[in-house]
Structure 1
Amino acid sequence: MIKKLFKYDKSRLIETLWECDPDIYNILVSSDDLQDARNSMFDHLNGIERHLFNIYSDKHFKDKNLLERNNSKECIRVLKNLIRTENEKISNFSALNTLYKIANKKINPHRLNEGFLFEFIFLFRGINCDSGIYTEKDVPLFLKLSGLEAALERTKSLDRYASNMEDFLKRYKTGMDKDLIKKRRQNRKFIQGLFNADDPDWLDYRWHLKNIISDIDTLHEIVKLSNDELRGLRCAKKYKIPFQITPYYLSLFDRKNTGRYDHTIRAQVLPSENYCLNYIQTRKSGSNMDFMDEKSTSPIKGITRRYPQILILKPFDSCPQICVYCQRNWEITDIKDAAFSKETMTNAIEWMRDNQYITEVLITGGDPLTLSDIYIEWLLSMISGIEHIERIRVGTRIIVTLPQRITEDLVEVLRRYNEFGVRELCIVTHFEHPTEITPDSLEAIKRIKKTGINIYNQQVFTYYNSKKYESSLLRKLLKKSGIDPYYIFNTKGKDETIDYRVPIARIEQERKEEARFLPGLVRTDEPVFNVPRLGKSHIRSWQEHEVIMILQDGRRVYRFYPWESKYAVVEPYNYIDVSIYDYLKRLNDDNENIDDYSSIWYYF
């Protein structure tokens, strides 16, 4: 259905738009002015709402199934938001005015964006109970049966769901794939030869830290780089944007760059030209690089606090490996320039000691496990000495980027501060893709889990792990490996990370149509959106957020209600999302069947 529309030119899309709702077209062309059109539109939508669930409704609505009518109700709610003058003022744009001009031929079709037209084509279809997502979904046969007959028929339908899911899962490799393990061992040998390193060197995390790859020539000598990747790396060098990759993580690359399995891995660490130019533009414009506005939630140097009982402690400002999309790219430094200030940490810990309401500490940064065992021991002993601290989280990506760092000595240090019934010490890590779970990372996980320490995963939902069931495979593998899925984050809305961002509708769709097919203990991660300064807002519930406008380029404007909005008069946060049309076009260019995503337009 979407593929077919992608082939239409703008004039044909406009024709399709009005075919989807001739009544709205007639309202727009017969109205004296915009305000008249607005009033008539509200009357029209209110009329449809009254008929949707009225037993005396005309045949058009009674013949539609309940799911279509419920979807219509949601589409009406959205369209009412879009035509409100208040929301036009907030977003500085009027979708209704654009529709009015299109209907009255007062705008050149070539000036219109396909994303805008697509949004309203599907919105109008939804309002008229013609979304197309239920046409082949008749009432399941088992609902018409009972007893054993119903049970057997239900089993068949559930098997079909499971079979469909398995077909998608088979498209993706994991780091435990035998062929992949073999290729990566070959990569390891090549890197060792290049650095004149033996096996004991490779198993020593300090060797990896000393040999972090941060220059283009060495990187290019190890792996084949595309022209796009080279342009991005040269741009990063020109503008002094640091990139660094551990030898271990580089061994996970496809050295020949065939694009078969390492697309996600490369995208995490190789800055694109677009990223670099946007990063520099943001910096030059004087805009705040601190997207989460952590400076406004930092009561003392080294601490960020956004919630009543937990705070963030940042002892170290670098990582062995820099993730391009990192929310703290404004403060993450090259590992050679990174610093640990005992004085800053002492002051921060004393601040925590004086605040009895703080019961939990997330030690993050940078990556705190880059520090030596001595520093980590000192830090944990100081924090655990505070009587009201019940839990210490250690936020680290070391398990993914440098599993050799998880030594017996380090694990023993961590174990000492995990006291059952007294205080929990847990690890919060960051696997992005199934190909990152390798025999080496699994060995690190085993060492930690043997001590009784829990491990949780926070995944950032980016373009590079957003294909159908891709994140489901990660969840399954994480759970089997001893890690509990914890959060799945909508990518931060920073201009420089536009290549990574995914429409909110896609993360909602993934939760409802993919994650939901997994057993409950596997899909334990909560989808969240981080509101700057205020913290996480759940994405599941429409009461937490709403679409208030669709801009001329097809991007949705969302209003987010922060987590404490039921307790205090906290101003909502307005967010401009990624265009669904642009996202699907990108998937289409990457040879993905975009019709598999057809319901995405109806997630708000």
Structure 2
Amino acid sequence: MDYRKHLKSTINDYLNIKDNIKTGIERKEEIEKNKKVILEKLNGREEDWKDYKWQLKNRIDNAEKLKKIFPLTDEEIKEVDKVASVYRFAISPYYLSLIDTKDFKDPIKLQAIPSGKELIGHGDLDPMDEKGTTPVEGITRRYPDRLIVKVTNQCGMYCRFCQRRRLIGETDHHIDRNTLEKDIEYIRNNEEIRDILLTGGDAFMLSDSTIEWLLQELRSIPHVEIIRFGTRTPVTLPQRVTDNLVNILKKYHPIYVNTHFNSPAEITEESKEACEKLANAGIPLGNQMVLLNDVNNDPMVVRKLNQALLTIRVKPYYIFHTKPVKGTEHFWCKVEEGLDIMESLRGRTSGMAIPTYIVNGPGGLGKTPVLPNYLQYIGRDKAYFRNWNGVPFEIENKFDDIE
């Protein structure tokens, strides 16, 4: 057997299709054209585009603004209006520029622009029972040694599948200083807590001065070992990752950042620059992809995404099974789809590109990993497995005690 040909045959299906799955970097010219149109419509300049505050101020947050910039049918405009009366939306000009207007099922469009499907179906606004696992306002705690602090409801773009859409409201607001001080005091009084995740909303939506104050306070607590930020700004608002923000973060190591790329189309020159700024400051980056119908429930799309993420120094960390949030049923996938993706990655790409597939237990039961079954069974003296390519093998599972 020609072993080289055999190995190549195991990934030929991916090699034959990968060039058709475009990253934002590979769509650079098209995105640049979209950007020029959006700047013209918003009376903006190149300097404005690079300013995250301008991006926030000019978020597209109603159907009237959207139809002036983006080609939607009259029916789609009616849907946007109808959904927006129930679930708020806002899209940064940057993220809007990534949409392929010729693709009805463009993954950026599906994540950003409201659909009438949000008003039908089942689900719960708080399926993980964050309310029931909140010891003090702003904190969710499900595990013994770690917790999350929700510091704001603001995001650069409000994802249509958001697990916390119940908290978005109609206006942006950060958690007030008094509440944050109580959260810090709770952490200070529970010495088993060693790991803090600052999230929201998006934790990078806080001002630089507030972020530094929070980091100073948390670093003054002896038992706090690591601090993590949950942020989608490298994806939806990469301009937010400024030199000043990075210089603040690197003073308080160990700092980790978990971000949230769901599609190769989100990996652009700007997002690459944002991630590399953080990585160059010694901040490890992990990606938490949500499994979404028609966006990434395809093994080839996820392989392209994860391999591209490694090139911008982001480690694929989790694939989250879609949570049953009310208004998001059109994004839901079957567990088998996630398992198929995991099966397709093992052995066909580097281990660095393989995340952990996670199902969240309802009602706050926490993260539960799901893996393809490589262990077939355990006998009296041997354990029986199959490898990534389906080949069975066994190992000795008997060891005599040494006296």
Question: Do they superpose with TM above 0.5?
Answer: yes
Of Structure 1 and Structure 2, the greater helix share is in 1
User: For residue 203 of structure 1, what is the amino acid of its counterpart?
Assistant: K
Q: Residues of 1 paired with 2:366 and 2:74: CA distance?
A: 39
Root-mean-square deviation (CA, aligned residues, Å) is 1.8
In the alignment, the residues of structure 2 paired with residue 541 and residue 158 of structure 1 have an alpha-carbon distance, to the nearest angstrom, of 21
Deviation at 1:526, TM superposition (A): 0.1
State the AA in 1 paired with 2:110: A
CA distance in 1, matches of 2:276, 2:236: 16
Matched with 1:316 is 152
- Deviation sequence 1:162-184 (CA, Å, 0-9, x none): 2222113222111111xx21111
Amino acid in structure 2 at the alignment position of 1:182: E
1:378 to 210, 213, 221: 213
- Superposed counterparts of 1:96-175, under 5 Å: 142=1, 153-175=2-24
1:273 has 2:111 as partner: no
Question: Does the aligned pair in 1 maintain the 2:290–2:320 contact within 8 Å?
Answer: yes
SS at match of 1:316: coil
2:336 to 498, 502, 505: 505
Residue 365 (structure 1) aligned with residue 211 (structure 2): no
Structure 2: how far apart are the matches of 1:514 and 1:521?
Answer: 10
Asked whether the equivalents of residues 196 and 228 of structure 2 are also in contact (C-alpha less than 8 Å), the reply is yes
Q: CA deviation at 1:278?
A: 4.2
Unaligned ranges ≥5, structure 2: 375-403
Deviations 1:331-366 (Å, cap 9, x if unpaired)? 1234x3423311111001110011111000000010
Return the offset for 1:228: 5.5
In 2, Cα distance between the equivalents of 1:451 and 1:312? 23
**What do the CA deviations read for 1:516-575 (whole angstroms, capped 9, x no partner)?**
41111221x1001001211111111679xxxxxxxxxxxxxxxxxxxxxxxxxxxxxxxx
Query: CA separation in 1, counterparts of 2:330 and 2:154?
Result: 23
CA distance in 1, matches of 2:197, 2:134: 14
Of the candidates 357, 360, 368, which is equivalent to residue 530 of structure 1?
360
Tell me by how many angstroms 1:242 deviates.
Answer: 0.5
Maintained 8 Å contact 1:429/1:456: yes
Contact 1:317/1:366 (8 A) holds in 2: yes
Equivalent in the alignment of 1:259: 103
1:401-424: per-residue Cα shift (whole Å, max 9, x none)?
Answer: 111111110001111111xxxxx1
Identity rate of aligned residues, in percent?
35
Pair 1:404 & 2:239 matched? yes
Indicate yes or no: 2:151 matched with 1:305: no
Residue 132 (structure 2) pairs with residue 296 (structure 1) = yes
How far off its partner does 1:243 sit? 0.5
Per the TM alignment, residue 467 of structure 1 is displaced from its structure 2 partner at its CA by 2.1
Q: Is 1:223–1:253's contact at 8 Å kept on the other side of the alignment?
A: no
Give 1:159 shift: 1.1
Give the Cα–Cα distance (whole angstroms) in 1 for the partners of residues 244 and 149 of structure 2. Answer: 23
What is the one-letter code of the residue matched to 1:488?
I
SS in 1 for 2:255: strand
Contact in 1 for aligned 2:62/2:81 (Cα 8 Å): no
Residue 195 of structure 1 aligns with which residue? 42
Q: Is the Cα contact below 8 Å between 1:529 and 1:537 reproduced in 2?
A: yes
**TM-score, L = length of structure 2:** 0.88
Q: How much has 1:231 moved relative to structure 2?
A: 3.9
Instruction: Give the alignment of 1:50-69 within 5 angstroms.
Output: none
Shift in CA distance, 228/311, structure 1 to aligned 2, threshold 3 Å: farther
Q: How does 1:435-514 map to 2 (within 5 A)?
A: 435-463=265-293, 464-514=295-345
CA distance in 2, matches of 1:297, 1:495: 19
Give the CA deviation at 1:482: 0.4
Tell me which of 28, 34, 44 is aligned to 1:181. 28
Which runs of at least 4 in structure 1 moved beyond 4 Å after TM superposition?
A: none
Tell me how far apart the structure 2 counterparts of residues 394 and 484 of structure 1 sit (CA, whole Å): 15
Cα distance, 1:466–1:227 mapped onto 2, change above 3 Å: farther
Residue 222 of structure 1: how far off its partner (Å): 1.1
Amino acid at match of 2:48: D
Give the partner amino acid of 1:502. C
**Letter paired with 1:246:** S
Instruction: Decide which of 411, 414, 420 is 2:249's aligned counterpart.
Output: 414
The change in CA–CA distance for 1:181 and 1:450 in structure 2 (over 3 A counts) is same
1:430 to 2:260 alignment: yes
Alpha-carbon separation, structure 1, partners of 2:120 and 2:344? 36
Is 1:222 the equivalent of 2:69?
yes
CA deviation vs aligned residue, 1:58-91 (integer Å, no higher than 9, x gap)? xxxxxxxxxxxxxxxxxxxxxxxxxxxxxxxxxx
* TM-fit CA distance, 1:294: 0.5
User: Aligned partners of 2:35, 2:148: CA distance in 1, in Å?
Assistant: 36
Unaligned residue ranges in structure 1 (runs of 5+): 1-141, 143-152, 283-287, 419-423, 544-604
Distance 1:348 1:471 in 2: 37
- CA–CA distance in structure 2, aligned partners of residues 431 and 181 of structure 1: 17
